Each structure stands twice: as structure tokens, then as C-alpha cells.
Amino acid sequence: MEIEAEKIQEGQNIEINGINFNVIHTPGHKDDSVCLYSEKEKILFTGDLIFPEGGFGRTDLLEGNRDKLIQSIEKITQLDVKEFYPGHELSVKNKANQQIQDSLKEAKKNQSKY
């Protein structure tokens, strides 16, 4: 049995467990990557875009692109984030905005190498 998933797009709002999230297209790790952001709760699900303590998604795999990843991280630096939940590693519930900035800084290091 094949199940077809509904595709989500940037700007779309979806409700999960009574919380409204805005879909933000964040390519770089993969072309179809997205983050989900609740402005009211200040929660961000980052998938493989960023990780705690300056971490960020790999760009050396198929569909990876460092420039797109940096642009995507720059996009989420504009958000007011209290906590974020990456696709791997622990959640961030302390200084989330600073940790997003740290990920941007690390992604920009040696950018020309990738």
C-alpha cells in the first residue's frame, strides 16, 4: 500500500497538537528542507539546518549547497526563537537566538572550501 504525503510549502500554516506553525523553506542540506516556526510559542523545529552550539547541516551530500544553507540560516536569524528542536542532537532551550547566530558564523567559516 502506497501512501502519498501532502506536500507543504513556504508560508503555509499547519497546526500540530494545537500549536500553529509557519512553514519556512530552508534549502541547503537538501532542496526540500523546511523549518516549522510558532511565532506565538517562539518554537522552531530546525530539521537538519542547524544544531546546538554552532552546528549546521552537511552540505557535502547530494542536494547540499553551502551558499543556500547560509541563506536559510540567515532567514531564521530574523525570528524570535525561545527554543529550537533539531532533527538530531538535543533541543535548545537556553539562548536559542544566540545559538542560531553561532551556527551562521560557523557555516560562513571557510565557506569557499565547500
The cell numbers describing 31, all together, are 532542496
Query: 6: pLDDT confidence band, cut at 50, 70 and 90?
Result: confident
Q: pLDDT digit string (tens) for 61-75?
A: 999 999 999 999 999
Give the pLDDT score at 106.
96
Q: Where are the beta strands (DSSP E) in the chain?
A: 13-16, 19-25, 34-38, 43-47, 50-51, 55-56, 83-86
**pLDDT > 90? residue 113:** no
H or E stretch including 71?
helix 66-76
| pTM of the shown model | 0.90
Domains of the chain: 13-109 (3.60.15.10)
Greater pLDDT, 109 or 36: 36
**pLDDT > 50? residue 114:** no
First to last CA, the chain: 40
Q: pLDDT digit string (tens) for 11-62?
A: 999 999 999 999 999 999 999 999 999 999 999 999 999 999 999 999 999 9
